[in-house]
Amino acid sequence: MSAAAPLPEPGYNFAYLDEGTKRMIRRAILKAIAIPGYQVPFASREMPMPYGWGTGGVQVTAAVLGRSDVLKVIDQGADDTTNAVSIRRFFGRTAGVATTTHTSEATLIQTRHRIPETPLSEGQILVYQVPIPEPLRFLEPRETETRQLHALAEYGLMHVKLYEDIARHGHIATTYAYPVEVAGRYVMDPSPTPKFDNPKMDGCPALQLFGAGREKRIYAVPPHTRVRSLDFEDHPFRIQSFDRPCALCGAEAVYLDEVVLDDRGGRMFVCSDTDHCEGRRAEGHTGEMAE
């Protein structure tokens, strides 16, 4: 589904933000790109939506967006979740840009918690909404300390934490927001995407931008950049796997949502990426519970 551009709301600047704010955010984005994985502080504005609901991603999108862009917004992989609908509508109203649900048609995709299954291509931009940008935050709550650790590339704490998991559980027990090392230097939080999506970041041809509004940080991964999930030689990084295909489109090796069908233990597993699932079904693929 694609929607043509309606006229932007009168009384607002294009994409809501004033030009001074856009310039400030744009400068932060340029520095973020030049220092992959480093969190650039920026003067995040108070947006007309709550902190924690995508204000960072929205500000990055607003600063980057142009008239000819085609915007896709997803939350949990889906285009039709309420917050995705709300953010897409915000840009429809304030920027009047064309929107789409098709990953391949979008020039800019704002996301919360997922990377689309359809591989991204050269020239696309993926904007992540980030709640806690600091990968070391839960090991060291102080900004003054974590800043030092990043400056010294001192990431021993993180390795100790991951290794403690191994000692206790036999494997690393971090399933989402799994830390990555970018271009051999900064350790970065990939936002709370499932670790299933981490490999998609590595060498991705699209530009990846991360916006954390409440925490006032912007960071970036340029295209074709090495993104390595932290691991150990004897415990290599592994992604989740599902022991069944999507019940609707039959896709394998995709991330699935578990849907509760009744209160007697009935379950089905379906693609979390709704566009990918619909595309496959349109091509005639079916799963066991397709009608």
Partner 1 sequence: MALRAGFRDPVHAAQAVFRAAMDALSRPACIQALAPALTPPEPLTAELAGLALALCDADTPIWLDAPLAAVPEVAAYLRFHTGAPLVAAAGEAAFALIADPAACPDFVAFAQGTPDYPDGSATLILAVDHLTDRRGLAFSGPGIRDLAYLEAAPLPADWSARLAANHALFPRGLDILLVAPGRIAGLPRSARLREAAEA
Partner 2 sequence: MYVAAKGGEAAIDNAHRLLAEMRRGDPAVPDLSVAQIREQMRLLVDRVMTEGSLHDPDLAALALKQARGDVVEAVFLVRAYRTTLPRFGASEPVETGAMTVSRRVSATFKDLPGGQVLGPTFDYTHRLIDFALAAGELPEPAAETEPGPDAGHCPRVTDILGEAGLLEPSPPEAGAPVGDLTREPVDYPADRAVRLQALARGDEGFVLALGYSTQRGYGRTHPFVGEIRYGEVELEMVPEELGFPVPLGRVPMTECQMLNQFRGSGAAPPQFTRGYGLVFGQCERKAMAMALVDRALRAAELGEAVSAPAQDQEFVLAHCDSLQATGFVEHLKLPHYVDFQAELELVRRLRAAHEAAISSAGEPVREAAE
Catalytic residue among 37, 77, 92, 211: 37
CB of 74 to partner 2, least distance (A): 10
* Residue 204 falls in the annotated catalytic set: no
Interface pick for partner 1 out of 91, 128, 178, 186 (rule CB under 8 A): 186
* C-alpha distances out from residue 4 to 64, 69, 96, 271, Å: 19, 11, 9, 27
Interface pick for partner 1 out of 58, 74, 177, 221 (rule CB under 8 A): 221
* Residue 249 falls in the annotated catalytic set: yes
Residue 43 DSSP label: -
Task: By CB under 8 A, tell whether 65 contacts partner 1.
Answer: yes
* C-alpha distances out from residue 232 to 27, 41, 123, 163, 238, Å: 36, 31, 34, 8, 11
Helices 55-64 and 82-95 pack at an angle, to 10 degrees, of 30
CB nearer to partner 2: pick between 105 and 165: 165
Interface pick for partner 2 out of 150, 195, 200, 280 (rule CB under 8 A): 195
Find the distance separating the first CA and the last CA of the chain, reported in whole Å: 22
Stretch that binds partner 1, among 17-25, 81-89, 171-179, 281-289 (CB under 8 A): 17-25
Residue 196: exposure state from Cβ atoms within 10 A (0-12, 13-18, ≥19): buried
CB of 240 to partner 2, least distance (A): 6
Answer whether 154's CB lies under 8 Å from 132's CB: no
Two structure tokens written together for 186: 């900064």
* DSSP code string of 111-161: EES---SSPP-TT-EEEEE-S---TTTTT---HHHHHHHHHTT--HHHHHH
- Residue that has been written with the tokens 């990939």 in this structure: 190
Number of residues this chain uses to bind partner 2 (CB under 8 A): 68
Answer whether 101's CB lies under 8 Å from 79's CB: yes
CB of 29 to partner 2, least distance (A): 15
* Residue 37 falls in the annotated catalytic set: yes
Task: By CB under 8 A, tell whether 89 contacts partner 2.
Answer: yes
List contacts with partner 1 (CB under 8 A): 13-14, 19-20, 22-24, 26-36, 38, 40-41, 63-67, 147-148, 151-152, 182-183, 185-186, 207, 220-226
- Tell me which residues are annotated as active site: 37, 246, 249, 271, 277
List contacts with partner 2 (CB under 8 A): 18, 41-48, 50-53, 55, 75-78, 80-83, 85-86, 89, 112-114, 131, 141-144, 166-171, 173, 175-177, 192-196, 214, 216, 234-235, 240, 247-248, 255-259, 261, 268, 270, 272, 274, 289-291
